[in-house]
């Protein structure tokens, strides 16, 4: 691709900001979780763009390896997070985050 990597980095920054907006305005726990996935994904995009920027140095491949680990950790995170959401739904009959306020002082 023959465009400056700054464009791709900008796209990743904008997607990250939309993930933040999603976390802040939604109250459905699953949609909040999906917004977090969007942010992780935009961080991956920035890593890949940086790796392409530093290529053809062999060290640039470390960016790809890092993204590989981020995807593996995201998969583990989703498994545990969705199990927690299911557990909260069983006790509260709702996954609206406003309803989950038992720890409030």
Partner 1 sequence: MTIDLVLFLGLTLIAVAAAIAMIVSRNAVYSALFLVLNFLTVATLYLLLNAAFIAVVQITVYAGAIMVLFLFVIMLLGTERESLDGGRIRWQMPLAIVLGLGIAGELAYVLMRNDAAQRPLADLSAGFGSPASIGRVLFSEYLVPFEVTSILLLVAMIGAIVITRMQRRETK
Judged by CB under 8 A, the chain residues 82 through 101 that form the site for partner 1 are 82-87, 89-91, 94-96, 98
Total residues at the site for partner 1 (CB under 8 A)? 75
Q: Considering only residues 15-34, where is the footprint of partner 1 by CB under 8 A?
A: 15-22, 24-28, 30-31, 33-34
Note whether 88 and 29 are within 8 A (CB): yes
Note whether 5 and 53 are within 8 A (CB): yes
Cα distances (Å, whole numbers) of residue 70 to 65, 83, 87, 103: 9, 20, 25, 31
Residue 37 found at the interface with partner 1 (CB under 8 A): yes
Residue 43 found at the interface with partner 1 (CB under 8 A): no
């Amino acid at each position: 691709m023959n465009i400056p990597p700054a464009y791709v980095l900008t796209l990743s920054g904008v997607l990250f900001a939309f993930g933040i907006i999603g976390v802040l305005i939604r109250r459905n726990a699953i949609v909040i979780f999906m917004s977090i996935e969007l942010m992780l994904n935009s961080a991956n995009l920035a890593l890949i763009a940086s790796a392409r920027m530093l290529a053809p140095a062999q060290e640039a491949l470390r960016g790809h390896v890092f993204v590989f680990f981020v995807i593996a950790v995201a998969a583990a995170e989703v498994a545990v997070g969705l199990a927690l959401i299911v557990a909260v739904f069983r006790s509260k009959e709702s996954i609206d985050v406003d309803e989950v306020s038992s720890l409030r002082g």
